Amino acid sequence: HAVDSKVGEVLLYYCYCEVKDPEKLCAWQKALCQHLHLTGKVRVASEGINGTVGGSKVATKLYIEVMLSQPLFKDILCQEDFKSSAGGSQCFPDLRVGVFKEIVPMGIDPKIVSYKETGIHLSPQEFHREVEQYLSQASQGQSDTILLDCRNFYESKIGHFQGCLAPDIRKFSYFPSYVDENLELFKDKRVLMYCTGGIRCERGSAYLRSKAVCREVYQLKGGIHKYLEEFPDGFYRGKLFVFDDRYAICSNEDIISACRYCGTLWDQYKLCSSQHCRQLVLTCPSCRSKGLTACCPVCQEKELQVTSRASGQTLKEECECTRRRPRVPIEDVSRRTLDAGKD
Region 62-75: what's the mean pLDDT?
94
Q: What is the pLDDT of residues 265-304, one digit of tens each?
A: 999 999 998 877 878 999 999 999 999 999 888 888 876 6
How far, CA to CA in Å, does 225 sit from each of 90, 103, 139, 178, 253? 20, 19, 27, 24, 16
Sorted by where each begins, the domain ranges of the chain are 9-99, 120-250, 258-304
**DSSP per-residue string spanning 187-235:** TT-EEEEE-SSSHHHHHHHHHHHHTT--SEEEEETTHHHHHHHH-TTSS
Is pLDDT above 60 for 341?
A: no
Which class for 310: exposed (0-12), middle (13-18), buried (19 or more C-beta within 10 A)? exposed
Q: What pLDDT, on a 0 to 100 scale, did the predictor assign at position 297? A: 83
The CATH classification of domain 120-250, taken from the options 3.40.250.10, 3.40.50.300, 3.10.180.10, 3.30.70.270? 3.40.250.10
Query: Are 267 and 238 within 8 A, CB to CB?
Result: yes
Q: What is the pLDDT of residues 151-172, one digit of tens each?
A: 999 999 999 999 999 999 999 9
CATH number belonging to domain 9-99: 3.30.70.100
Region 95-118: what's the mean pLDDT?
92
pTM of the model: 0.87
Eight-class DSSP state of 165: B
316 Cβ neighbours under 8 A, 6+ residues apart: 276, 277, 278
147 Cβ neighbours under 8 A, 6+ residues apart: 131, 134, 161, 163, 164, 165, 192, 194
Q: What is the pLDDT of residues 209-256, one digit of tens each?
A: 999 999 999 999 999 999 999 999 999 999 999 999 988 998 888 999
* CB-CB neighbours of 332 under 10 Å: 11
Q: For residues 219 and 221, what is the distance between their CA atoms, to the nearest angstrom?
A: 6
Higher pLDDT, 113 or 314: 113
Confidence band of 102 (pLDDT split at 50, 70, 90): very high
- Residues of the chain with pLDDT > 70, as a percent, come to 90
Residues annotated as catalytic are: 195
Q: What is the pLDDT of residues 23-56, one digit of tens each?
A: 999 999 999 999 999 999 999 999 999 999 999 9
